[in-house]
Amino acid sequence: MSGSAHLPEPLCARCDAVCCRLTVVVQPEDRIPAHLTAHTAAGLTVMARDAEGWCVAIDAARMCCAIYDTRPDVCRRFTMSGPYCLAVRTDYLDSTSRGIPLALYS
């Protein structure tokens, strides 16, 4: 990859957890407590986010998902170091290196 920023191999210990800022559509079978969800203008149920854009299920004290064992299916399918993970991390690193804030859509 000449000309692009080198991305270190993603590891949980040093991951930016950018995926925890993505819109996560909650399916009925996910059975996520209502206080952790929000509704979009389009009528979708999504994981709620705090004022800084992080998923509300993040345990800030321990820097991990507080509902990891019961997290939504879409989170379970998000493969660390997979193509989507790497694309999201690349976009995030590119944006933050240029001072562009991560855009959040709801």
Q: What is the pLDDT of residue 3?
A: 45
**Is 33 inside a domain boundary?**
yes
Lowest mean pLDDT among 11-20, 52-61, 77-86: 11-20
**Is 105 inside a domain boundary?**
no
Dist CA 64 CA 12 (whole Å): 10
Does residue 16 contact residue 96 with C-beta atoms inside 8 Å?
no
- As for how many domains the chain has, the answer is 1
pLDDT at 66 over 70: yes
Is the pTM value of this prediction over 0.85?
no
**Is 62 inside a domain boundary?**
yes
Residue predicted with more confidence, 41 or 97: 41
Beta-bridged to residue 45, according to DSSP, are 39
Q: Mean pLDDT score of the chain, rounded to an integer? A: 81
